[in-house]
Amino acid sequence: MTGYPETLTTHLAREATTVCHCWRLTRGDGQVTGYTDHDRSLTVGGTSYAPQTGFAASEARDALGLAADTVDIEGALSSDDIRDEDIAAGLYDGATIETFLVNWRRPEDLALLRRATVGKITRSDGRFVAELESLVHALDRPNGRYVSRSCDAELGDPRCSFNLDGPDFRGTGTVVAHQAPSALTVTGLDGFEPGWFTDGVLTWTTGSGAGRSQRVEEHRRDASGTMLVVQPGSGSAPMGGDAFTVTAGCDKTFATCKAKFANALNFRGFPHLPGNDAAYGYVVDGGRFDGGPVVP
């Protein structure tokens, strides 16, 4: 916790105070919004804090040591800035929230109480509860690489270094219909083999979800045409005519990396790692024990 300025400390020593809480929320896309539990709008440090959201905070605690602290923020979905579909789409996941104690009579008198990131968000009956995780929470998560046979890079990222801009690995299409919010019948991908875009990334270019990306769980072809099954729970369902781009998918195996993308030299896994069958196996007649690669 940062120290309070002298003017705010003097004010808090009085019998009656005029303080409120302000929350400055910075989403992952850079959008900044402000909210307060005061009954009027406030402008603090160039940011406007709106009162109509009905924000309320639970008890906040700061513990000594490396214990992870959390605090809940609850509010009604009454602000035009906070939309249910944006929460469902994950736009607030990992967002940064700064909590300030502000003298609403003199907004320049303020103190930063804490800085946290948005963790789990639950929604019900037109309200949401966001769990704010302190910076110490990052120490409670596994970090670093895991030794496994599968690749731990994302296809096309700097560690993978594969170029996905080629016509063989990127397609464009349009939604014709959907059997379910996540099962889409599309056009524009007839030139690709079924399964080519499984595990790929679909990005909407038009419609209510323009700019958002979803993981493709399955790419198949049936009687209705070409089908893409995307991960559910990513905002409002697409409509007929919505356009998208989609990149080829990778199942993170060495065989796929080598055969589909010819990118074996940049594979970020350990394909020749012996499995449990080798660790617990025993020598048998006719076995191969020449130290050669497990995966050809």
Residue owning tokens 């989609």: 246
Residue 222 domain-assigned (yes or no): yes
CATH number of 201's domain: 2.40.10
Q: Do 117 and 212 belong to one domain?
A: no
pLDDT, one tens digit per residue, over 138-193 is: 666 667 778 888 999 999 999 999 999 989 999 999 999 887 778 999 999 999 99
pLDDT, one tens digit per residue, over 72-130 is: 555 444 455 667 667 766 777 778 888 899 999 999 999 998 888 877 777 666 666 67
Other CB atoms within 10 Å distance of the CB of residue 187: 12
pLDDT at site 59: 44
Tokens of 234: 């990513």
Distances (CA, A) of 230 to 85, 119, 181, 193, 216: 16, 23, 9, 17, 4
Is the pTM higher than 0.85? The answer reads: no
Give the count of domains, the chain: 2
Residue 232 domain-assigned (yes or no): yes
Mean of pLDDT values over 262-268? 94
Q: Do 104 and 33 belong to one domain?
A: yes
pLDDT at site 77: 41
Domain span at residue 224 reads: 170-247
Domain boundary, last residue among 228, 247, 266:
247
Please, are residues 262 and 250 in contact by the beta-carbon 8 Å criterion?
Answer: no
Q: Do 71 and 131 belong to one domain?
A: yes
Quote the DSSP letter at residue 4. P
Q: How confident is the model at residue 37 (pLDDT cuts 50, 70, 90)?
A: confident
Q: Do 177 and 105 belong to one domain?
A: no
Please, are residues 25 and 87 in contact by the beta-carbon 8 Å criterion?
Answer: no
User: What is the secondary structure of 213-267 as a DSSP string?
Assistant: EEEEEEEEEETTEEEEEE-S-SSSPP-TT-EEEEE----S-HHHHHHTS--GGG-
Alpha-carbon torsion angle 269, 273, 275, 281, nearest 10: 170
Q: Do 131 and 189 belong to one domain?
A: no
pLDDT at site 53: 55
Q: What percent of the chain has pLDDT over 90?
A: 40
Q: Do 132 and 174 belong to one domain?
A: no
Q: Do 19 and 125 belong to one domain?
A: yes
Residue 241 domain-assigned (yes or no): yes
